[in-house]
Amino acid sequence: MSQPEPVRVLPDDEHNRTLVNNVHPATWVNPEPSGKYNLVVIGAGTAGLVTAVVAAAIGAKVA
């Protein structure tokens, strides 16, 4: 798998470099998706996060 190009944010100052470095570690690789889920949550608001946590806690495969 090829590595994605590094993210460039302008202006290239220390503040923006810190933000970019905190997005994901340099060695981050997206996980392989599972073929089947019981629940797909779209959005990361309060309702989506609570729904995902509760569903996973009762054994659902959540994406």
For the stretch 21-42, pLDDT in tens is: 888 777 878 888 878 999 999 9
Predicted confidence at residue 50, as pLDDT, reads 95
Residue matched to tokens 């994406």: 63
pLDDT higher than 80, residue 43: yes
Query: What band does 20 get if pLDDT is binned at 50, 70 and 90?
Result: confident
Quick one: tokens of 60? 């659902």
| Residue 6, in any domain of the structure | no
| Residue 45, in any domain of the structure | yes
Q: What is the percent of the chain with per-residue pLDDT over 70, rounded to a whole number?
A: 90
Say whether the peptide bond before residue 11 is cis (omega within 30 degrees of 0).
yes
DSSP per position, 8-54: --SS--HHHHHHHHTTS-TT--PPPPPS--SB-----SHHHHHHHHH
| Residue 49, in any domain of the structure | yes
The number of folded domains in the chain is 1
Quick one: tokens of 45? 């608001």
| Residue 34, in any domain of the structure | yes
pLDDT higher than 90, residue 4: no
